[in-house]
Amino acid sequence: MQPVIFITGATSGFGQATARKFASNGWKVIATGRRVDRLNALEDEFPGIVHGITMDLTDAASIDAAVAAIPEGFKPVTCLFNNGGLALGTQPIPDVDTGQWRTMVETNVMGLLHTTLALLPLIKQVGKGASIINTGSIAQRFAYAGGNVYGATKAFVHQFSMNLRTDLAGTGIRITSLEPGHAKSEFTAVRTGGDFDANEKMYADNDPLMPEDIAEAVWWVATLPDHVNINVMEIMPVCQVPSRPVILKRDDFEN
C-alpha dist (Å) from residue 194 to 44, 88, 126, 168, 211: 27, 11, 40, 39, 19
What are the residue ranges of helices labelled H in the chain? 13-23, 36-45, 60-68, 98-104, 112-124, 148-167, 187-191, 196-203, 211-222
Catalytic positions are: 150
DSSP 12: S
CA angle 71, 81, 46 (to 5 degrees): 50
